[in-house]
Amino acid sequence: MRRIHAPKTRSQLRYRRHLRVRSKLAGSAERPRLVVFRSLKHIYAQLVDDDRGVTLLGVSDGSEGIAVDGEGKVARGKAVGKLLAEKAKAAGFSRVVFDRAGYRYHGRVQAVAEGAREGGLEF
């Protein structure tokens, strides 16, 4: 028998997973949350202070100053992570909490995390 309010689409299932992940972690002013969002074409990353409910800074694969090494979306994801780490270091953040936003830690999401680590962020 089917549940009445069972999620039906992939986006609804991802949103449910994201809520489950968010119940276990939160960002603060000293250690903001690094959130990743990926669409079919692009990838976005931002630092969020959950205490105040404010986005501190954000980067996408269309941002100025992004240096992509190689081809493909995974390479762009790694470049996004590196650029976000550079901007975070300039803003005075060195430690973050990584939020995969309901996505598997695989492919582009993993590349953003690796790029941010290479850029000097700790999580």
Beta bridge mates, 46: 35, 58
pLDDT of residue 54: 93
Tens of pLDDT, residue by residue over 36-53, are 999 999 999 999 998 999
E-strand spans in the chain? 33-38, 43-49, 54-60, 97-99
Query: What is the value of pTM for the model shown?
Result: 0.86
CATH of the domain at 32: 3.30.420.100
Asked, for residue 2, whether it belongs to a domain, the answer is no
Q: Do 67 and 105 meet the contact criterion of CB atoms below 8 Å apart?
A: no
Residue 81 structural domain: 10-118
Q: How many independent structural domains does the chain possess?
A: 1
pLDDT > 90? residue 119: yes
d(CA 45, CA 8): 27
Is the residue at 100 inside a domain? yes
Any domain includes 4: no
Residues of the chain with pLDDT > 90, as a percent, come to: 71
The answer to the question of residue 5 being in a domain is no
